[in-house]
C-alpha cells in the first residue's frame, strides 16, 4: 500500500506579522513547525504501513525551509519526501493549493490513500484535503477519528461532536484526520540517522506540468480586501477575596460603579 501524507509548515508562534499589501503571513524570520494535525496524519499512515506493508511518502508545498518538517517526517519513519517549491506557487489560496498538490499526487502516482490533517493552524479552513479529492476525482472522508483499511476500502469513524458516524470509501481515497486520532511518535535517533539517506526531491511548477493560471495568486479566486492586526491593550486585573457572598457583593458593586448594572 502506498500512502501519501501532505504536511504543512506553520508559524510556531501567535505573534505573526501580516503583509498589508498581499494579506499573507510574513514567514521570513519566524520560527516554524509542522502543522500539529499533520503529525497525526503521519502517525496514522505509519500505523497502516506497519500493519499492511508498503510505503509512506510525505509531500510539502512551501519555501525551501519547509525541508525542516520533511526531516521530522522522515525521522518519524516516512520513506520519501517531495517538496513543491517555486515562486509562482506563492500567494495560493486553498483552491490553487489543492490543484498543485493534486498535480504532485498524479506525478508520484500509484497511490492508495492520501492523508491530511483536518486543518492547518495558520488558516483553519479545513478545505485543502477535500479540495484535493475533488481535483483528483476520488472519494474523501473528513473528520476521521479512526482509520482501517481492508479489501480495497478505507473505513473511518467520523467524530461529529454529538455522535460518531461509521463510513467507508473505495480506494484510492482522501482522508482528513482529527487531532485526537492518535499520539504521534517521536523521531528516534536511529530513524533520524536513516532519514539522511532517504530520497528527497524538489519539484517546480514546470516539473509538475502546472497550468500557470491555476497556481499561486493567478489561480486563487479568493482575495483579502483588508488586513489589520487587532489593537493590543493593557488591562488591569482586580482580584476579589473573601467568602462567595462577599465576592459576589464586591463584583456587583464594581459593575454598578461602571454603570454595567
Mean pLDDT score of the chain, rounded to an integer? 90
Rounded mean pLDDT, 99-115: 98
Tell me, what's the pLDDT at 227?
A: 62
CATH of 2-214, one of 1.10.10.10, 3.40.50.620, 1.20.1260.10, 3.30.365.10: 3.40.50.620
User: Domain-by-domain residue ranges, the chain?
Assistant: 2-214
How many other CB atoms are there within 10 angstroms of residue 139's CB atom? Answer: 17
pLDDT of residue 12: 74
pTM exceeds 0.85, yes or no: no
* Residue 248 contacts residue 261 (beta carbons within 8 Å): no
**DSSP code per residue over 173-211:** EEEEE-GGG--PPPPPHHHHHHHTTS-EEEE-HHHHT--
Residue 30, pLDDT score? 63
Q: Which three cell numbers mark 40?
A: 497525526
Percent of the chain with pLDDT over 70: 90
Give the separation between CA 82 and CA 103, rounded to whole angstroms: 12
Give the ranges where 83-126 is alpha helix by DSSP (H). 94-108
* pLDDT tens per residue across span 178-233: 999 999 999 889 999 999 999 999 999 999 999 999 999 999 998 767 666 667 77
CB 186, CB 72: distance < 8 Å = no
How far CA 191 is from CA of 38, 52, 77, 157, in Å, comes to 19, 20, 6, 31
Task: Find how far residue 189's CA is from the centre of its chain.
Answer: 25
pLDDT: which is higher, 97 or 16: 97
pLDDT at 123 over 90: no
Centre a 10 Å sphere on the Cβ of residue 82 and count the other Cβ atoms it contains. 23
Q: What's the average model confidence in pLDDT over 89-98?
A: 94
Kind of pairing between the strands at 164-170 and 173-177: unpaired
CA–CA dist 225, 215 (Å, integer): 20
Q: Which of 12-21, 42-51, 154-163, 180-189 bottoms out in mean pLDDT, i.e. has the lowest?
A: 12-21
Q: In this structure, what are the phi and psi dihedrals at residue 100, rounded to the nearest 5 degrees? A: -65, -45
Q: At how many degrees (to 10) do helices 67-76 and 36-52 cross? A: 40
Q: In angstroms, rounded to a whole number, what is the distance separating the alpha carbons of residues 141 and 126?
A: 12
Amino acid at each position: 500500500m502506498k500512502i501519501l501524507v501532505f504536511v504543512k509548515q506553520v508559524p510556531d508562534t501567535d505573534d505573526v506579522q501580516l503583509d498589508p499589501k498581499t494579506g499573507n503571513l510574513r514567514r521570513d524570520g519566524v520560527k516554524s513547525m509542522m502543522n500539529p494535525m499533520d503529525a497525526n496524519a503521519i502517525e496514522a499512515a505509519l500505523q497502516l504501513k506497519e500493519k499492511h506493508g508498503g510505503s509512506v511518502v510525505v509531500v510539502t508545498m512551501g519555501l525551501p525551509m519547509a525541508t525542516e518538517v520533511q526531516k521530522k517526517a522522515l525521522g518519524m519513519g516516512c520513506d520519501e519526501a517531495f517538496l513543491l517549491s517555486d515562486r509562482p506557487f506563492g500567494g495560493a489560496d486553498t483552491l490553487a493549493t489543492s490543484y498543485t498538490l493534486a498535480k504532485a499526487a498524479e506525478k508520484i502516482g500509484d497511490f492508495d490513500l492520501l492523508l491530511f490533517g483536518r486543518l492547518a493552524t495558520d488558516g483553519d479552513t479545513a478545505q485543502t484535503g477535500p479540495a484535493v479529492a475533488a481535483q483528483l476525482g476520488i472519494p474523501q472522508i473528513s473528520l476521521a477519528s479512526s482509520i482501517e483499511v481492508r479489501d480495497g476500502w478505507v473505513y473511518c469513524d467520523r467524530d461529529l461532536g454529538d455522535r460518531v458516524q461509521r463510513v467507508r470509501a473505495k480506494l484510492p481515497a482522501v482522508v482528513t484526520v482529527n487531532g485526537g486520532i492518535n499520539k504521534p511518535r517521536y523521531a528516534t535517533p536511529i530513524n533520524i540517522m536513516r532519514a539522511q539517506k532517504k530520497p528527497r526531491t524538489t519539484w517546480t511548477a514546470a516539473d509538475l506540468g502546472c497550468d500557470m493560471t491555476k497556481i499561486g495568486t493567478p489561480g486563487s479566486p479568493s482575495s483579502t480586501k483588508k488586513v489589520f492586526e487587532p489593537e493590543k491593550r493593557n488591562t488591569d486585573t482586580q482580584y476579589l477575596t473573601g467568602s462567595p457572598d462577599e465576592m459576589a457583593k464586591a463584583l456587583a458593586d464594581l459593575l454598578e460603579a461602571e454603570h454595567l448594572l
